[in-house]
Amino acid sequence: MSPSSIRSASIGIFLLSLTSATALWAEVDVVEIIRRTVAADQRNWKVASQYGFSERVGVRRLDSHGEVKSTDVKRYDVTLVEGSPYRRLVERDDRPLEPDDERKERAKLTKGIATRQKETAAQRALRQGKYQNRPDWLREMWQELPDAFDFRLAADESRDGAEFYVIDATPRKEYRPHSRTAKILAQLQGRLWIDKRDYRLAKAEVEVAETIAVGLILVRLAKGSRATFEQVRLNEKVWLPRRVYVAASARLGLVRMLHIEHEAVFSECRTVTGTLVSKGPRGGLSIALE
């Protein structure tokens, strides 16, 4: 076979492959993928809410030229106390707390536990219910997500032995939100990575496409602000957050402009088996963990 014939055959095979892939994508119901992802996320929340973890939060404040003005890094231990999360500061700037600060944090924990143990049954049920049912704003956004956007299958990706649908989302012009929270969706666009095996959201990249005004005291989140969310399969039962990153510019009121980068990294995930509090080493408090 001549070189020109080989080239022609190669081009033909490539075009045939491309045509087959396009036909296959056309058969994929992208909205149904999103609906299954929303349903899977709701199921996942019930399991994920029983896990504790370490959370490292870094905040960088920038000037108008993108130069760093200040940096703040804190690490928290997050566990369940009497059925809902308690967030205890354990490090600052990647160093253990000074002894005085450590004592203050333990005193806060002791007070928080005592307050929760004194609740009436109705108060306890209300607090635990708010956590177990997710915040209203998050639940509303997830519920309206399948109808609020036009979705397009952009690619298939393989990574670390897993396969993902890569889906682009753009606001649907004719959509009318059913909640105040969901109105924000009309100003966003993004790309989603959804695990093909169990329809869990592995990653989301979101960008503000139009300036968002929030609250009575006007806060305007600038066009181009962006966020990345990543989660990972911990085991066969649950996916847990791995990283949240936000780079945003916002105007507060009529004058002040804020430029900020915020990153939260999650690690040391573990199941919380109870909320019993006992004396730990050196008389400190410890939470029963699996």
Q: How far apart are CA 110 and CA 278, in angstroms?
A: 11
Residue 33 pLDDT greater than 70, yes or no: yes
Q: How far apart are CA 221 and CA 187, in angstroms?
A: 10
pLDDT tens-digit map of 69-92: 999 999 999 999 988 999 999 999
Structure tokens of 260?
């900020």
Q: How far apart are CA 206 and CA 212, in angstroms?
A: 14
pLDDT tens-digit map of 251-273: 877 667 889 999 999 999 998 75
Q: How far apart are CA 34 and CA 23, in angstroms?
A: 20
Q: How far apart are CA 237 and CA 167, in angstroms?
A: 24
Q: Which residues pair with 239 in a beta bridge?
A: 233
Residue 248 pLDDT greater than 70, yes or no: yes
- Helices and strands, number each (H, E), in the chain: 5, 15
Q: Give the model's confidence band at 244: pLDDT under 50 very low, under 70 low, under 90 confident, else very high.
A: very high
Residue 44 pLDDT greater than 60, yes or no: yes
pLDDT tens-digit map of 18-27: 333 333 444 4
Q: How far apart are CA 88 and CA 287, in angstroms?
A: 12
Residue pointed to by tokens 């004592």: 103
Nearest to 246 by CA among 265, 226, 221, 231: 226
Q: At CA 240, angle to CA 271 and CA 146, rounded to 5?
A: 135
DSSP class of residue 35 equals H
Alpha-carbon torsion (153, 157, 162, 168), positive or negative: negative
Q: What are phi and psi of 198, to 5 degrees?
A: -135, 15
Of the candidate ranges 50-59, 104-113, 180-189, the one whose mean pLDDT is the lowest: 180-189
Residue 1 pLDDT greater than 90, yes or no: no
pLDDT greater at residue 160 or residue 167: 167
Q: How far apart are CA 37 and CA 146, in angstroms?
A: 10
| Torsion angle defined by CA atoms of residues 178, 192, 74 and 83, in that order, rounded to the nearest 10 degrees | 60
pLDDT tens-digit map of 104-151: 999 999 999 999 999 999 999 999 888 887 777 787 888 899 999 999
Stated pTM of the model:
0.81
pLDDT tens-digit map of 198-223: 999 999 999 999 988 876 557 888 99
In 3-state terms, what secondary structure has residue 40? helix
Find the farthest-apart pair of alpha carbons in the chain and give their distance in angstroms, rounded: 86
Q: At CA 202, angle to CA 184 and CA 59, rounded to 5?
A: 65
What per-residue confidence (pLDDT) applies to 273?
58
What per-residue confidence (pLDDT) applies to 21?
39
Structure tokens of 26?
């056309």
Q: Which residues pair with 214 in a beta bridge?
A: 219
Q: Outline where DSSP puts E strands in 160-279.
A: 162-171, 188-195, 201-208, 212-214, 219-221, 226-233, 239-252, 256-271, 277-279
Structure tokens of 89?
């500061």
What per-residue confidence (pLDDT) applies to 135?
74
Structure tokens of 233?
């399969």
What per-residue confidence (pLDDT) applies to 278?
37
Residue 166 pLDDT greater than 80, yes or no: yes
Nearest to 177 by CA among 201, 209, 143, 138: 143
